[in-house]
A and B are shown apart, each in its own frame.
Chain A
Amino acid sequence: MESEKYLAQLQEIQSMMQKSSKFLSLSGVSGILAGTYALIGGGIVYAMRDNFEFPVQFNSFEFLSVTIIAVLVMVLSFITGVIFSIRKAKKKQELVWNQISKLFVMSFMVPLITGGLFAIILVSKREFALVPPVTLLFYGISLVNASRYSFETLRNLGFIFIILGLANSLFVEYGLYFWTFGFGVCHIIYGAFMYLKYDKKQ
């Protein structure tokens, strides 16, 4: 009888510690959807490749279409992530924008925005081939950095992106494949894993 009370106390402590220090409203579904957008985007670019003129010129048709597709994939993924997090938080009757989600977003955004600016600078210097590895690398660092305030497994996904980014910088001519594999396939696999592990139960 007494030990049951103690066990309940321990469980309460554990759940409070986790709930108060981790942003757990990330949804596996948004990972799957973000991966799908990246796959579609990568597929479109792949299909268009035959008509592209190489080397790609700044502000050419090739340049603009790839940029628009990449930005679209990013914006859609971001919006999807936010919408599904709000939904999940509401389901759990928690606030989305609290101390921990702020810390999570901050620790995620600092490397990500740094990488984004770096990618823009690379483009301005016409170093197009380095853009996919740089985005993979910085996104991976963002994940590792932010995993402290969220699911610990997010760190593993981050490491995969870092490895992909490094590998891609060795073989820059395969940027499209590395980028699509990372942002597309890895997101879908990880999102599905998260969905099955955490979301489906609730």
Chain B
Amino acid sequence: MTSIISDINKTFDHRIRLGIMSILMVNDTVDFNRLKELLDVTDGNLASHIKALEQSEYIDIKKQFIGKKPNTTYEATLLGKQTFAKHLAALEQLIKTSK
């Protein structure tokens, strides 16, 4: 039981961060506006959660130019994907055992 609990990650214990990771698990790269649209949050709110995930090294930020427009895209790192997969498995396990 203790090992399951240790896989539950506090970083993902928030709707927005959980959402960002879920989206990046199934999409290779996603830009800021797309995240904003999907999660229905304000710019500042989204930016702070992105920063938190980046500091944990769960996501990578890629800045590039499309023509003259700057475009920032995000993708999950290998560490991020593995940690999130563990979190997901732990959630499923906890729900199963509580039933």
Contacts and interface: CB of A to CB of B under 8 A. Distances in A.
Interface of A: 2-3, 6-7, 9-10, 12-14, 16-17, 19-21, 94-95, 98-99
Contacts of B18: 9, 12-13, 16
Interface string B10-48: 001001001100110111001100100111000000000
A6 B95 contact: yes
22 contacts: A3-B95, A3-B99, A6-B91, A6-B95, A7-B95, A9-B91, A10-B91, A10-B92, A12-B15, A12-B19, A13-B88, A13-B91, A17-B23, A19-B38, A20-B22, A20-B23, A20-B27, A20-B30, A20-B38, A98-B34, A98-B37, A99-B27
Nearest to B12: A9
Contacts of A20: 22-23, 26-27, 30, 34, 38
B40 to A, nearest CB: 8
Contacts of B95: 3, 6-7, 10
B98 interface: yes
Contacts, number: 54
B94 interface: yes
Contacts of B22: 12-14, 16-17, 20
B38 A6 contact: no
B37 A16 contact: no
Nearest to B20: A16
Contacts of A17: 22-23, 25-26
Contact of B19 (A7, A16, A95, A98): A16
